[in-house]
Chains A and B, each alone.
Chain A
Amino acid sequence: MNEWAGFWAIMIVVSLATFAVLSVVVAVGVTSRSCWTELTNRRDRQRTMCR
């Protein structure tokens, strides 16, 4: 049981660390100028296509 408890402790720490890193990466990524420009361009292209 102790081995399993250790295994789950590692899994929880890895999951929380992953979640923290992903949150920072996504937050920095979507607020970056290049991403914002790309999203705006895509939206404009889609609007043109819809017309």
Chain B
Amino acid sequence: MLLCCWFAYRPVSWEEIVTAVANAHGSAGFDPLDASGFGLGYVVWMAITFGIFSCAVWPTAVVRVCAVDDIKVVQRLYTWSSIGFMTRFIIPQFLAVCALAYFSLSEPWRAIFLTEDGKVVDDIHITLSALPIFLAQILPAGVIGLIAAGMLAAFMSTHDSYLLCWASVIVEDVIHPISGGKWTMRTRLLLARITILLIGIFLYAWSVFYPMSQDMLDYLAVSGAIYFIGAFAVLVCGLYWRGASTAGAYCALLVRLLAILGLPPVQQKLSLTSDRLGFELTAAHVGLSSMVLAVVVMIVVSVILPDQTAELKKGSTGDE
């Protein structure tokens, strides 16, 4: 990755990068709170999604927490890994601004990726292909193979962890308890393997047939939100509020499905266009409002429909 950054920075200078970003995005290219760019809402949405949610309910982060001895180690783990997380976001952004500067300076590419006044073209299929094309242009033979092998290794490592994680969750926490919890380890292992295969087939079908029509990071945040919005409300209320009930948890888990409204194909199907709504419905709007709604629904439904065991305990305490 470091080698890749060095090759990316070689054909451009820092001044050229700053000029290219200023031409393409203006002050919004530098200030994340600038309303003409990301704006406060988007920054809050990202901070919650990739900050709080990813620490609290993201399986791979939670597994790390489960593997340590005490709370102090967890705090230290998150403090130090925050620098690594920042690095994971900054380095791809650095590569992207190098690509922007490179394409703004090279005439054959400039016409493809930028408009006449230096803005980025408004076509997601073209912009998503910018970084791979940039890397193919700047990396010499040999290095490009190394980078591709590294990316493939990272891709495989990520996917095998996720496949194992979700197959285990589905078998151990959903299918096995529902079926009475009497299956042998051998049967559960077989079922986990079948689940991994089914998830793999689903991933392949989804990646082939789903029309990608938004930024990759937004898509990642929305698809993650479908899981973690409900999970977060259930986890926080379940841990810190005695009044949380099963009915409330089920309703909060249903509310999370609203997060799919952050996907442009779904918005188009439901005619949630800016002409009809009067404003542009972004992933940040959908994510933040679904998150608040999930917590509200969890609280309201828990109050209206408390668990019977909690009611009984309350009754027996009152009798005494």
Chain A positions within 8 Å of B, measured between CB atoms, are: 1, 4-5, 8-9, 11-12, 15-16, 18-20, 22-23
Contact = CB atoms under 8 A, between A and B. Distances in A.
Contacts of B86: 11, 15, 18
Q: Is the interface of A mostly helix, strand, loop or mixed?
A: helix
Given A5-B30, A8-B30, A18 B18 contact: no
B30 A4 contact: yes
Closest 8 CB pairs of A and B: A4-B30, A15-B90, A15-B87, A5-B18, A12-B94, A18-B87, A19-B87, A18-B83
A4 B83 CA distance: 20
A41 to B, nearest CB: 16
Interface string B60-103: 00000000000000000000000110110011001000000000
B20 to A, nearest CB: 12
Interface residues of B, number: 16
B143 interface: no
Chain B, interface SS category: helix
Contacts of B27: 1, 4
A9 B14 CA distance: 9
B160 interface: no
B30 A19 contact: no
Contact of A19 (B22, B31, B91): B91
